[in-house]
Amino acid sequence: MAKKISYSCQYNERMQWLFANANNINFSHEADRILRTLDKHLDYAEKYLIVLYYNYGMRMGYFALKDMGFTIQETEKVEAVWKEEEAKQQAIAEKEKQEKEQALLKRIEADDIFTKDRLTTLPDIEIDIYNLATSTVFNDKDELMNYDYNCIINKEGKLYLMNASDTLNYSAIQKFIYHYISDNNIDFVGYKSGYIEINGTDIPVNSYITIQFREQRYKHRGYLELTIKKNKKTSRWEFVEDLPTKLQSWAKEDAQKMQYDLEAAIYNCTELNDLKGKIQLKMDVYRRVLKSNISNETELSYYFDMKYLKRSVWEVEYVPLRYSLSF
């Protein structure tokens, strides 16, 4: 058999590469030297045949040996060695599997926390962003709602921050979203924790999870120009133009929602209280969408980047206005 292997490998580059790889030989001249005296290095031949069967499988390995000129009896001997090696490797793999399972069980019993790559089943956390966005909580930091909450979900399905002190730096709206998630457990019995499968049994475990929220803004074409004045009797700002008609021609199907959001923006703009008379406004309008990895996306209120026309003796300029923005 050694001569047949030697001949095949010396005249077949692929087989020679397989022989060198099976025996951790880095130089072709070294492989060539060993192949020429392979009958004195039968352990090299055995490693080669085992790797050949690993790569080709039983059926194709049989034909590879046949091409080398192996007889049926020689092939049966090789297959017997392969089966013995396969059984040995399976026993090693099973032992390693059991050791890993025992290590996992110890970690589970110790209430350890697992990363998602160790989980068989990921945690299931779902909320209704649409319902969340019906709340009135003002964005006191005037920031996009791009938030990452690094959390732990325990095996009972309860969610909490890895570092409770994170909330100290949260804006009001960021803190509200976190409490909404952590307090709003599905059916009031908790979210579904992550699981690790051991011997066919799913075991609930504590695991890390990052919950993400992303606010995206899409600028409306052009800009909107309006004039408002304060009603002396009601002390409320009113639009000089026919607002529904103007928005209908400007925003079409979104006109009604945009009017509602614009009126709320004017109402929540305290900087207007210092102004008198008719106020000319110019604004860019943005459609807002909130997305999350634990919910479907939802539409938010429009955002109006407002400026008012300030006139003085020396100049005329548009001055930015800020207002309290909620969802």
Work out the burial of residue 38: count CB atoms within 10 Å of its CB; fewer than 13 is exposed, 13-18 middle, 19 or more buried: buried
Residue type for position 120: T
Task: Identify whether residues 89 and 140 lie together within a single domain.
Answer: no
Percent of the chain with pLDDT over 70: 88
How far, in Å, are 103, 159, 320, 321 from residue 275 at the CA level?
A: 70, 47, 13, 11
- Give mean pLDDT, residues 16-30: 72
Tell me if 183 is assigned to some domain.
yes
- Judged by DSSP in three states, 75 sits in helix
107 occurs within a structural domain: no
The Cα 215–Cα 327 span in angstroms is: 10
- Residue 219, SS3? strand
Domain boundary at 215, 238, 262, which?
215
Q: What is the pLDDT averaged over residues 15-23? A: 73
The answer to the question of residue 209 being in a domain is: yes
pLDDT for position 291 = 94
d(CA 56, CA 151): 47
Number of domains in the chain: 3
Q: What is the enclosing helix (H) or strand (E) of 283?
A: strand 279-292
Q: What is the mean pLDDT of the chain?
A: 83
Number of Cβ within 10 Å of residue 31's Cβ equals 20
8 A C-beta contact, residue 303 and residue 309: no
Element (H, E) at 306: strand 303-311
Q: Which residue segment(s) compose the domain that 258 sits in?
A: 217-320
Q: Please check whether residue 173 is in contact with residue 138, taking contact to mean a CB–CB distance below 8 angstroms.
A: yes
Residue 310 lies in a domain: yes
Residue 101 pLDDT exceeds 90: no
| Strands 295-299 and 279-292, sheet pairing | antiparallel
**Mean pLDDT (whole number) for 195-214:** 92
Same domain, 265 and 295: yes
- Residue 129's pLDDT is what? 84
8 compared with 89, residue with greater pLDDT: 89
pLDDT in tens, 280-292: 999 999 999 999 9
Structural domain includes residue 189? yes
pLDDT tens string 219-268: 988 888 899 898 888 888 888 888 888 888 777 778 888 889 999 998 88
> Is a pLDDT exceeding 60 seen at residue 188?
no
Instruction: Tell me the pLDDT tens digit for each residue of 36-91.
Output: 666 666 777 777 777 777 777 777 776 776 767 777 777 777 777 778 878 888 88
Taking the C-alpha atoms of residue 320 and residue 306, their distance in angstroms, rounded to an integer, is: 6
